[in-house]
Amino acid sequence: MNKLELLTVNISDIMMEKGEELGMTAEDIIKQITRINFPALYFAISEKMQNVYHFLSDGDAYNSIRYRGSRLFGQNAVRLFRSKMLDFEDCNLQNEHWLELWLLDDMNPAFVSCFRTMYGNEDYITEYREYKGTEWPVCNAEVRLEAIVSAIQELCPPFFNPNETIVFET
């Protein structure tokens, strides 16, 4: 199988698994899956692949430390979707817990738990990620297929209309 076929199969499997868990009919799940333009997604994500780290700290504050821990996957990945599980804010400090769906460079899915702490207006950020596996973890994240499809569609560039009038200024 080539990477485009792997992408299609793996994302479809994830969507089917989550849809069945939510009690959706197979017809409704397939309708959501067909909303995804897999060739456009493949080309969009190949440009957005990045290193993902177990731990990172970063910021623009005066004495912030820029640090990257070890690589989480051993290969590049792109985040397809994330759902907030917990949010706590106090004065200038904000803590968040996210469930993230990453797609690895080999087109396999990876579910990750991310704990994020921000100080101020993103003056200082720390993130700790833990790999949870290739199947939906049992957690309290409220995930709808429509939200996953929308997040995936946002990764793709807008549809090019060859009949649209484009004015170039020099």
d(C-alpha 137, C-alpha 133), whole Å: 8
d(C-alpha 35, C-alpha 12), whole Å: 11
Residue-wise pLDDT tens digits, 121-140: 767 889 999 999 888 777 76
Model pLDDT, residue 140? 65
d(C-alpha 129, C-alpha 114), whole Å: 4
Q: Which residue has the tokens 């397809």?
A: 80
Q: Are 105 and 90 in contact (CB under 8 A)?
A: no
Q: Flag the least confident range among 64-78, 114-128, 136-150.
A: 136-150
Residue 161 has pLDDT above 70, yes or no: no
Model pLDDT, residue 141? 66
Q: How many residues does the chain have?
A: 170
Q: pTM above 0.85?
A: no
d(C-alpha 154, C-alpha 79), whole Å: 12
Mean pLDDT of the chain: 85
